[in-house]
Structure formats: C-alpha cells, structure tokens
Amino acid sequence: MKSGVVAIAGAPNAGKSTFMNQVLGFKLAITSDKPQTTRHRLLGVYNEAEAQVVFFDTPGLHVPRRALNKVMVDTALATLEEVDAVLFMVEASRAGMEAGAKVAEIVARGGKPVVLALNKIDLLPRKQELLPLLEQAAGWGKWSALAPISALKGDGCERVLAELLALLPEGEPFFQPDVITDLSERFLVAELIREKVFRLTERELPYAVAVTVDEFLEPANQGQSTAITATIHVERPGQKAIVIGRGGAMLKKIGTAARLDMERLLGGPVYLDLFVRVEPKWSRQDKGLRKLGY
C-alpha cells in the first residue's frame, strides 16, 4: 500500500486547516478568518483501503515579529524537512498570490515533491480570473501538480489527494486504520476555546491569547458530564476586560460556543468553567512561551 507523510504548508490564512478537516471528515484543526490561527504542528491521518497519508498541518509561513511567531515559523520549516511530499496551499486572491509568491521559494528549496493547490476559487468574482492565477502560480517553480480547489466546499480535494498519493512511497501504515490523530482531548479542548476567542473578539486580541486546560475530569458513569476547567491567558488588563465583556457576556458566549463543539468531540455532555488571567508579554518571552505550552 501507499504510506507517507505530507506537510500542508503556505502563507497564513491560505486554508490549510480547512483542507485537512475536509479530507479527514473531522474537525481536527481550528479555523477562523484571521491569519496565524494554527500555532502547532497538527497530525491528522487519512485512511483508505490501500493507502494512508499522515498530514502535518503547519503554522503559516510569514515574517515573525515576536517570539511566538518565530516558534510557529520554525515549526513549519522543520516539518518541511521531515516529509515525503508537500501540499502548498495558496489563496486565490491578489493578497494570497502575493503571499504565495514569497513562500514558494521556501517550499521549493526544501527539495520535496510539491503539489500546489490554489484554494478558495469559489470566492473569485469571475471564472475567467482563474486561468491567469494558475499560470502565475505555475511560474513560481517546478510543481508535481497544480490544482484549483475549494477546501471549504470540498471541490478538487479528491484530485489533490490522488496527486499526493502518486508521490508517496509504498510501505506499511504508520497508524492503525481507526486512528485519526495523536493529539490529546485536552489539547483539542483548549484549541476549541481559543478558536471561539478568535472568532468572537476583535482582530488584534486573538494574537495575545493562549488557553490552558487546568482540569479534565472524565465522567464516572455514562451520561454524566465531562468537567473541564480552563484558563484564557491574555497580556493586558484591557484585553481581559474584552474577553469577559460587560457583565461577563462575552465570556459566557465564548464558553457556550466552545462547549457545544466539545460535546460533539467527546460524545457527551460537558460542564465548562472558564477563567481569564493576565500574563504580561507572554507571547514575546521564552519563559512565557514555555509556560503556556509553546
């Protein structure tokens, strides 16, 4: 059978996590319309009868301006060296093509076979705009394949999978066929909370936010609630006030949205208790990064 490892790489907000979720048929990676949502290397396993693809969803490649961003970029670059092939995601927009052109050299320099997916084609105002974008992307390097897709809708994803499978070696699978990730439930729960902060608060705030799970108590009996206590960490008192909201309204909104996703993930009721804490400059200092799991 075909069995190999594929890094999903690209500029921030290119749709890397959306693609992996679409292919796996499972919400593994959190998503939002804000760049740099993915901070860790996330492992997702795609299985079919005669093939297994281990995907690494990586943080977006960009110019780092703080310690957290440097960790994210270093994680992505290190992953490119460890894989059999690369899926290079580019957003089909003017800004996306500009960002993709900068990342293309980094991806090509890795020396791995690359499939380039031009994503979000469903957002193009006119279909005739697609061909010039494809021609432009083709000129960035020698790609094994070039495919237009909509990761959100699933259009073109099967073709991308087929192109990637053609690049992978034959070998035994890395995981049992019922394994979809190596990530813990505690990690996934923390990510779901962070996703809600990204989606529900101001554009500048999410980059100062981290989430830690303080308690994760599984139910003693079937039908009982999983009890979860988590802390949302911010860098300034003003940010804490935004996350809590007037009369606690925003924190309640974040908690309700996260709890619904957790119940789908865990397959049962969840009791969620959220707190907000100020950790000054955590994203700019090595000590703060280590403390919060980066």
- Give this prediction's pTM: 0.88
Residue 121 has pLDDT above 90, yes or no: yes
Pick from 114, 83, 127: which is nearest to 10 by CA? 114
Number of Cβ atoms within 10 Å of the Cβ of 225: 16
The pLDDT of residue 132 is 95
Rounded average pLDDT over 31-47:
86
Burial of residue 272 (CB within 10 Å: 0-12, 13-18, 19+) is: buried
237: helix, coil or strand? helix
Average pLDDT, the chain: 93
Query: Hey, what amino acid is at 128?
Result: Q
Residue 69 has pLDDT above 90, yes or no: no
The residue with tokens 């809708």 is 153
Burial 141-152 (b: 16+ CB within 10 A, else e): eebebbbbbbbb
Q: Assign residue 36 a region (left: φ > 0; alpha: ψ between -120 and 50; beta: otherwise).
A: left
39: helix, coil or strand? coil
Q: Assign residue 113 a region (left: φ > 0; alpha: ψ between -120 and 50; beta: otherwise).
A: beta
The pLDDT of residue 144 is 97
Per-residue pLDDT tens over the stretch 185-234:
999 999 999 999 999 987 667 788 999 999 999 998 888 999 999 999 99
Residue 66 has pLDDT above 80, yes or no: no
List the domains of the chain with CATH numbers: 2-167 (3.40.50.300), 185-291 (3.30.300.20)
Burial of residue 108 (CB within 10 Å: 0-12, 13-18, 19+) is: middle
Residue 185 CA to chain centroid, in angstroms? Answer: 16
Per-residue pLDDT tens over the stretch 149-188:
999 999 999 999 999 999 999 999 999 999 999 999 999 9
Residue 35 has pLDDT above 80, yes or no: no
pLDDT band of residue 40 (cuts 50, 70, 90) is confident
pLDDT band of residue 67 (cuts 50, 70, 90) is confident
